[in-house]
Amino acid sequence: MKIIVAIKQVPERDAQVRIDAAGKWIDESNLQYALNESDAYALEEALQLKEKSAAAGGEVVVVSVGPERVGQTIREALAKGADRAIHIVCDDLGLRDALGVARLLAAAVKPENPDLILTGLQSEDLGLGQTGVIVAELLGLPHATLILNVEKTETGLKVKRELEEGWFQTIELPTPAVLTIQSGGNKLRYATLMGIKRAKMKEVRQLTAASLGVDAPPVVVLEHVALPQKQKSTQILPGTAKEAAAALVEKLKFEVRVL
């Protein structure tokens, strides 16, 4: 089974949020980046599927869109066990809408003729949660979202989909197909030293929007960003840990009345 995993590099979770001079995005100058969490689970699912069908000779190919720095995250995916990678080098990711990014991915993935395309259910930065579904639409493939478990069957796939409030559902679908993976379905692996060494030798093919022939203006633009307004006036309890704890106990006793 040939599996493509679309991954995204995102700012680390506890990165400090400072709005840039243009007010269009955050200041990226001192940011650290990481692999998007649900994409890490998509990669893990792909690696496990390949390992389960080792005899059939599967392949896991990661694909990512973004500037040069994305190469680091791609190497990490290769170190975990992906066989090769496609890097769509793109410095103007922020100017492309979800359809524009999905068009890049679809154009890069199509000639690969994969059996399965996996991606995380949503990114931690923009949180659109649409890329996988749009790629499926553009490639004319069936899809399922919020998937926790993938099983190969005679005719295709049997997947476990998460519904709201603790409910689940099993869905059967033919391959090739696109699945967006929810986090938590598997235990994530770490890269081994050997994996890190091997990753340096693996193929990373670089493509661009121009080489893929993708050039359409966005239909949705992010005009500006702002820090959220507080919904409640939070009373911050100051002082040392001990002082703050004592102040909170007073509040719990006399105002919230739960003690």
Cβ 189 to other proteins, closest distance in Å?
A: 14
Cβ 150 to other proteins, closest distance in Å?
A: 14
Q: Which residue, 58 or 185, is less far from other proteins as judged by CB?
A: 185
Q: Could you say whether residue 173 binds other proteins (CB under 8 A)? A: yes
Give, as one character, the DSSP assignment of residue 132: H
Q: Which residue, 57 or 113, is less far from other proteins as judged by CB?
A: 113
Q: Which residue, 194 or 241, is less far from other proteins as judged by CB?
A: 241
> Considering only CA atoms, which of 69, 70, 75, 62 is closest in space to residue 197?
75
Other CB atoms within a 10 A radius of the CB of residue 112 amount to 13
Cα separation, 227 vs 26, in Å, equals 10
Q: Could you say whether residue 184 binds other proteins (CB under 8 A)? A: yes
Q: Could you say whether residue 165 binds other proteins (CB under 8 A)? A: yes
Q: Which residue, 69 or 253, is less far from other proteins as judged by CB?
A: 253
Q: Which residue, 29 or 57, is less far from other proteins as judged by CB?
A: 29
Stretch that binds other proteins, among 56-64, 80-88, 183-191, 199-207 (CB under 8 A): 183-191
Stretch that binds other proteins, among 60-68, 83-91, 192-200, 248-256 (CB under 8 A): 248-256
Site residues for other proteins, 27-46, by CB under 8 A, read 37
Which stretch of DSSP H or E encloses residue 1?
none
Q: Quick one: which of 69, 172, 205, 208 contacts other proteins (CB under 8 A)? A: 172
Q: Quick one: which of 8, 50, 130, 207 contacts other proteins (CB under 8 A)? A: 130
Q: Which residue, 111 or 228, is less far from other proteins as judged by CB?
A: 228
What is the identity of the amino acid at 86? I
Burial 141-158 (b: 16+ CB within 10 A, else e): bebbbbbbbbebeeebbe
Give the orientation angle of helix 98-109 with respect to helix 131-139, to 10 degrees: 50
Cβ 194 to other proteins, closest distance in Å?
A: 25
Asked whether 73 and 7 are in contact (CB, 8 A), the reply is yes
Within 8 A by CB and 6+ apart from 85, the residues are 61, 62, 63, 64, 74, 77, 78, 202, 203, 204, 205
Three-class SS state of 145: strand
Cβ 57 to other proteins, closest distance in Å?
A: 27
Q: Could you say whether residue 22 binds other proteins (CB under 8 A)? A: no
Three-class SS state of 64: strand
Q: Quick one: which of 54, 55, 193, 226 contacts other proteins (CB under 8 A)? A: 226
Q: Could you say whether residue 95 binds other proteins (CB under 8 A)? A: no
> Considering only CA atoms, which of 74, 73, 107, 69 is closest in space to residue 91?
69
